[in-house]
Structure 1
Amino acid sequence: MQPRPIHVPLLAHTPHGFLGREGGVSTGIHAGLNVGLGSDDDRDAIHENRRRVIDAVTPGRTLVTVHQVHSPDCVVAESWADDARPHADAIVTDNPDFLIGILTADCVPVLFADPGRNIVGAAHAGWKGAITGVTDRTIEAMEKLGARRDCIVAAVGPCIARASYEVDDGFVRRFGEDDPANERFFAEGRRAGHAQFDIEAYVVHRLAIAGLSRIVALGEDTYAQEDRFFSFRRATHRGESGYGRQISVIGVAAV
């Protein structure tokens, strides 16, 4: 079985895909299309999975990823070695030789494109990166390459859903202190002193207030769909020793 990327019509003219765990060669707790260089999975399996990602979206290109650290930092893609990946959580490019990718396992992947100017971006928005502006930084970096904000479109991929994302009151207060209106992204929790966080809706909100008018969210819950997606929180709740990472990728259209 080969990987089957999820495509969105909003990015129809831009090579892209949100990939899950289907179509890979990893086994055990990493079974499937695990592409996480930071995981304890077999190295050969990881590299074969990454090769399959390229073939499934844009054969012949170089896959470029970063060493993700839950920051708001964004970099312009270069052909760096795996052990020299910069610490960042977003990438932008206008280079047709590259396929840029962001790894997730519950956090929010966001793919960006200004199709008319052939400039793309990818962001990993965990809660820390989301609240500190990783999506804003990605848009700004695309503008520096020549993109126009009013022409950028964004697709929000599979991530943990509100029903699966329990947080404590301290977490809720942090978001409320940043903006009292953030209260709307939290629902009553199942336990006292806890709430359910809608991180997908929060990221969509951040994109909208940044000035993007064309945004789509897939509404796919990584935690609840074990056969389709890896999930850090699910693995943690089970006391597993590790977890896989899925990838979301995008590249500029061939010219």
Structure 2
Amino acid sequence: MIITSPLLGAAPGVRHAFFTREGGVSEGIYAGLNAGVGSNDDPAKVAENRRRMAAALGVAPEHFLTVHQVHSPDVAVAESPWAAASRPRADAIVTCTPGLAIGASAADCGPILFADPAARVIGAAHAGWKGALTGVLESTLDTMERLGADRSRVVAAIGPLIRQPSYEVGDEFVARFTAADPAYAAFFAAAERAGHAMFDLGGFIRMRLQTAGIGAIDDLGIDTYPDERFFSYRRTTHRNEPDYGRHVHAIVLDADA
């Protein structure tokens, strides 16, 4: 049910989890641990899945926090629990409050978990191509520093996401990136189809983190598209399924550290 980053797992006073589909109660196309409140799954089953995820991290369900993700560079600061109906519209959460599990929802996009154990500041970011390109990773680090972190001490773990062999895009997508910086052409490889390329989202995320001056990076290297342990928006699309499940990958500061 849980995959962890060895690097982040060695950080004192911090617990984290990259969840798979295993261990949940959802059925059909959502089979397993669907945490997507935006999916059309039975809300009671989603709530039970999220309760199990919260329990795995040692927090109450109301302390298992996510935002309404909008593919933006915006960051919410969590100081106390918020109701599901009043979730901030953002794509990252940062906190220095022990006992609040903060999570990034994903089903191909990049979930990144951050920690500065010395400052006891953590973050969770959702980085699809748009968020990564427009600065959600840098915004997360900026917000962590406002809470007392030092980015040179921050450890980041890049979780399961769609990888280059599975991520075919059109030339207009490539043009959007190279217009921002011609050097970004390095993150695209030739595709079999003319007018298309294969995008290295994981490599792009790593580069942005390195350029931002982060202390250490761990990449799990998992591709959500071929790996049936994970929900995948693109796999669902290719199968003409009507909807898809979502993961929440989360991190929490120990209350007794």
Gaps of 5+ in 2: none
Distance in 2 (CA, whole Å) between partners of 1:80 and 1:169 is: 41
Q: Confirm or deny: 8 A CA contact 2:25 2:32 kept in the other structure.
A: yes
Q: Confirm or deny: 8 A CA contact 2:99 2:254 kept in the other structure.
A: no
Distance in 1 (CA, whole Å) between partners of 2:236 and 2:5 is: 28
Distance in 1 (CA, whole Å) between partners of 2:37 and 2:24 is: 14
Q: Confirm or deny: 8 A CA contact 2:51 2:60 kept in the other structure.
A: no
Distance in 2 (CA, whole Å) between partners of 1:33 and 1:190 is: 34
Distance in 1 (CA, whole Å) between partners of 2:219 and 2:82 is: 31
Q: Give the CA deviation at 1:59.
A: 3.7
Q: Give the CA deviation at 1:60.
A: 3.6
Aligned length: 251
Per the alignment, in what secondary structure is the counterpart of residue 64 of structure 2? Answer: strand
Matched to 1:88, the amino acid is A
Q: Give the CA deviation at 1:213.
A: 3.2
Match for 1:81 among 57, 80, 83? 83
TM-score by structure 1 length? Answer: 0.96
Aligned CA RMSD, in angstroms, stands at 1.0
Distance in 2 (CA, whole Å) between partners of 1:50 and 1:237 is: 27
Identity %: 54
In structure 2, the residue matched to 1:199 is: 201
Q: Confirm or deny: 8 A CA contact 1:105 1:246 kept in the other structure.
A: yes
Q: Give the CA deviation at 1:35.
A: 0.3
Q: Give the CA deviation at 1:37.
A: 0.4
Per the alignment, in what secondary structure is the counterpart of residue 94 of structure 2? Answer: strand
Q: Confirm or deny: 8 A CA contact 2:94 2:122 kept in the other structure.
A: yes
Q: Give the CA deviation at 1:80.
A: 1.3
Q: Give the CA deviation at 1:44.
A: 0.6
CA deviation digits over 1:58-99, x for unaligned, max 9? 244610110001011001014111111011000000111210
In structure 2, the residue matched to 1:248 is: 249
In structure 1, the residue matched to 2:56 is: 56
Per the alignment, in what secondary structure is the counterpart of residue 103 of structure 2? Answer: strand
In structure 2, the residue matched to 1:65 is: 66
In structure 2, the residue matched to 1:33 is: 33
Q: Confirm or deny: 8 A CA contact 2:151 2:215 kept in the other structure.
A: no
CA deviation digits over 1:2-61, x for unaligned, max 9? xx2111121123200100111100001111100000000001100000010011122446
TM-score by structure 2 length? Answer: 0.96
Per the alignment, in what secondary structure is the counterpart of residue 251 of structure 1? Answer: strand
Distance in 2 (CA, whole Å) between partners of 1:20 and 1:87 is: 25
In structure 1, the residue matched to 2:192 is: 190
1:123-142 counterparts in 2 under 5 A? 123-142=125-144
1:113-128 counterparts in 2 under 5 A? 113-128=115-130
Q: Confirm or deny: 8 A CA contact 2:124 2:250 kept in the other structure.
A: yes
Distance in 1 (CA, whole Å) between partners of 2:200 and 2:215 is: 20
Matched to 1:220, the amino acid is I
Per the alignment, in what secondary structure is the counterpart of residue 69 of structure 2? Answer: coil
Matched, 1:11 2:8: yes
Matched to 1:121, the amino acid is G
Per the alignment, in what secondary structure is the counterpart of residue 23 of structure 1? Answer: coil
Distance in 1 (CA, whole Å) between partners of 2:81 and 2:142 is: 22
Gaps of 5+ in 1: none
Q: Give the CA deviation at 1:134.
A: 0.2
Q: Confirm or deny: 8 A CA contact 2:71 2:91 kept in the other structure.
A: yes
Q: Confirm or deny: 8 A CA contact 1:90 1:138 kept in the other structure.
A: yes
Q: Confirm or deny: 8 A CA contact 2:59 2:100 kept in the other structure.
A: no
Distance in 2 (CA, whole Å) between partners of 1:223 and 1:233 is: 7
In structure 1, the residue matched to 2:173 is: 171
Matched to 1:181, the amino acid is A
Matched, 1:43 2:51: no
Distance in 2 (CA, whole Å) between partners of 1:118 and 1:236 is: 40
Matched, 1:235 2:232: no
Q: Give the CA deviation at 1:253.
A: 2.6
Distance in 1 (CA, whole Å) between partners of 2:158 and 2:52 is: 22
Distance in 2 (CA, whole Å) between partners of 1:158 and 1:190 is: 24
